[in-house]
Amino acid sequence: MINEVGQGVFSNAFSIESAKEGDLLFCFKGDSILVHGSEDSPTLPLYGELTPLCHHIFYMDGRGCYISEEMIAAPEGYYYTNAPALARNHSDRKTAFAVITAHQLSKWENSRAFCGRCGAKTKRSNIERAMVCPKCGLIEYPKICPAIITAVSHDGKLLMARNRHGTRFSLIAGFVEIGETFEETVKREVMEEVGLKVKNVRYFKNQPWGFSDTQMIGFTAELDGDEIPFTLQESEIAEAAWFSPEDVPLPASDISIASELIWDFLTRHGIERKNNT
Ligand SMILES: [Zn+2]
């Protein structure tokens, strides 16, 4: 998974220290990020090479990571590239995870520039990772939305569905609603999307998914009752199917918890895991 960078390598410890030479710089222009080097595995600029006004966001591998507060034109040798695409494709997991997490924070800071309650300009807190309204005192923390993803099995087969806007089959997933436990979300989402009841909902693992400001919480579950025809949520789901292990569409990469859940199902059914999927 994209967040698996090694024990203690990523640290979200809060700091108000200024950047020093050699710290990593994240300069965003909307969804684009400033880099240099090859387009396949671009390199992030270091503080010192560039010296914009910036603030600390986290540490990666013991090195301070800073977001530029200035929108800077790309100097010679540098270029802007799409940040989510870089994070999906970069061969170095630490760079990938740092970029998508910095992008998540950048989007959040920009969307909280003004207080949602009174409209005054907000400030970054000096004591924690938060945006504070100096006028009414409202405190806003980084946007992290919990969502479940579930591998539902029945009779040795795995349930997968294809979104109306996508070409690939994937697992059932959806945001946690108010007043729900994660297990209730699993049951509701499967019922809403394909019209099936599930039982034996069991926690699997979770991951931060900065691409959509989400914390993905993975579960396995089993069909409750006999196999019945799907009732699809037409606004969202184009088709659903039960896949035998040998027919399961393999994940495109190994960065997401979806890949972990699919391979958990497959390895439990005797199929050996392939690298990087
Ligand atoms: Zn306010």
> What pLDDT is stored for residue 247 in this prediction?
97
Looking at the fold, whether 99 and 120 belong to one and the same domain comes out as: no
Residues 74 and 30 in one domain: yes
Q: How far apart (Å, rounded) are the C-alpha atoms in residues 102 and 57? A: 7
Examine the domain organization and report whether 164 and 255 are in the same domain: yes
Let me know whether 95 and 116 are in one domain.
no
Quote the pLDDT of residue 120.
98
Query: Same domain, yes or no, for 204 and 253?
Result: yes
Same domain, residue pair 122 and 178: no
By C-alpha distance, which of 235, 215, 231, 243 is closest to 152? 243
Contact in structure between 152 and 161 (CB atoms under 8 Å) = no
Per-residue pLDDT, 184: 98
How far is residue 221's CA from residue 185's CA, in Å, rounded to a whole number? 12
189 alpha carbon – ligand 1 mean position (Å): 35
Position 3 in a domain: no
- Residue 1 covered by a domain: no
pLDDT of residue 275: 75
User: Would you say residue 2 lies in a domain?
Assistant: no
Residue 106 CA, ligand 1 centroid: distance in Å = 20
Amino acid symbol at 237: I
Measure the CA–CA gap between 111 and 134, rounded to whole angstroms.
17
Q: Which domain holds residue 245?
A: 145-268
Domain count, the chain: 3
pTM: 0.94
* CB contact at 8 A, 54 and 93: no
Q: What is the structure's pLDDT at 229?
A: 94
Q: Is residue 273 part of a domain?
A: no
Q: How far is the CA of 53 from the centre of ligand 1 (A)?
A: 25
Do 100 and 131 fall into the same domain? Answer: no
Q: Compute, in angstroms, the gap from residue 42 CA to the centroid of ligand 1.
A: 40
**Domain end position, chosen among 94, 110, 126:** 110
Q: Which one, of 104, 190, 114, lies nearest residue 153 by Cα? A: 190
Q: How far is the CA of 137 from the centre of ligand 1 (A)?
A: 6
Mean pLDDT for back-to-back runs of 10 residues, the chain (277 residues)? 95 97 97 95 97 98 96 95 97 96 98 98 97 98 98 98 94 98 98 98 98 98 95 95 96 94 96 82
Tell me, yes or no, whether 63 lies in a domain.
yes
Alpha helix stretches (DSSP H) within the chain: 83-89, 93-111, 182-194, 257-268
Cβ pair 44, 61 in contact under 8 A: no
- State the SS3 of 217-255: EEEEEEECCCCCCCCCCCCCEEEEEEECHHHCCCCCCCC
Q: What is the pLDDT of residue 111?
A: 96
Whether residue 75 sits in one domain with residue 39: yes
Cα 116 to ligand 1 centroid, rounded to whole Å: 7
For residue 265, the model assigns a pLDDT of 98
Answer yes or no: is 199 within a domain: yes
Q: What is d(CA 120, CA 134) in angstroms, rounded to the nearest whole number?
A: 8
pLDDT for res 17? 97
Strand-pairing partners, residue 60, are 10, 63
If you measure from the C-alpha of residue 120 to the centroid of ligand 1, how many angstroms do you get, rounded to a whole number?
A: 5
CA 19 to ligand 1 centroid distance, Å: 29
pLDDT at 257: 97
221 shares a domain with 137: no
| Per-residue pLDDT, 277 | 74
